Amino acid sequence: PEPAPAQPEPARQAPAAQAPAPAQAQAPAAPAGGGEGAYVTPLVRKLAAENGVDLSTVKGTGVGGRIRKQDVVAAAEAARAQAAQAPAAAPAGRGPAKAEPSPLRGRTVPMTRIRKVIAENMMKALHNQAQLSSVVEVDVTRIMRLRARAKEDFLAREGVKLSPMPFFVKAAAEALKAHPSINAKINDDGTVTYHDVENIGIAVDSEKGLMVPVIKGAGDLSLAGIAKKTAELAGRVRTGKLSPDDMSGGTFTISNTGSRGALFDTIIVNYPQVAELGIGATVRRPVVVDHPELGETIAIRDMVYLTLSYDHQLVDGADAARYLTDVKARLEAGEFEGELGL
């Protein structure tokens, strides 16, 4: 499935409003916008603008009905109190979309052939593996900014869109080379085969069911190579032209569960592989960061959860943690400028 779209850059915080200057003893007066006979000083007019107060609705308590600073402050406080008490009204035409009932409700239908294959493989995985999951949180702000800077030139140069997915595939494939137990297979005779190639399957949600086309030799491909191969395989899924060879030979799988909004998922490993990586939704939220000048501070960052499900028969928790830590470090460093021509 298509990865979660990159989020927009965090907006810069607006500077705090300056405190109003002290009133002058002989400040010139000006008529209020709509009051009859009411006058306001430049100071009061500025204070009203800063607080969103319509002077034509304010009754002045000063001499001759003049609107004073205290009148503006009182009007602003009254407006805030009224807004807090009033229930929030939903914008016209922006209510939540209502889910349409499925035509399958109340029916009994046979499983499709593909659904049966998926079901058998899922049960085989659970019955033959001791599966558990580990999760890390990754700051992908640099990746999202790199993508935003490079996507237009990348499309013109490579002929495919640059989604966040190739960055995750690249980082995952590189880390597999240093962690052989994650990219392995337990054989029926009790031996273990450590693969010397990174053939990464990409789980895709299609109308026919879950498909896992394989990017062969992903560990030796550039970002552009991974992006092109991903687009090619996704196109074959959409058109129903995947061949058996396209889905064979996988040694490790990545599932983009975040493309539909899930924060993270406890994935079932794609048997007979021993591990699978899940990518959650990228969410912009405040986090504590260590700034070189400001020290620990709070900033808006692009955050994502990565889940590694693995077979505990071969992979220990420490192995999974070390692998995830390396993937996290690669993504947070965001050092892909060379491949992107930046």
Query: Which positions are catalytic?
Result: 312, 316
- 221, exposed or middle or buried, with CB in 10 Å at 0-12, 13-18, 19+? buried
CB-count burial class (<10 Å; 0-12, 13-18, 19+) for 165: buried
Burial of 262 (0-12, 13-18, 19+ CB in 10 A): middle
Q: Which two tokens stand for residue 213?
A: 């086309």
Query: Is there a contact between 175 and 200 (Cβ–Cβ < 8 Å)?
Result: no
CA-to-CA dists, residue 31 to 34, 41, 50, 67, 169, angstroms: 8, 9, 18, 10, 66
Nearest partner of 181 among 325, 320, 279, judged by Cα: 320
* Integer CA distances (angstroms), 10 to 146, 159, 245, 288, 321, in order: 14, 29, 43, 15, 30
Provide the 3-class DSSP secondary structure of residue 115. Answer: helix
* Residue 4 CA neighbour count, 13 Å, CB half: 25
Number of H-type helices and E-type strands within the chain: 8, 12
The packing angle between helices 223-239 and 141-158, to 10°, is 70
Closest CA to 56 of 84, 77, 83, 37: 37
Residue 214 CA, distance from chain mean position:
24
DSSP state of 111: P
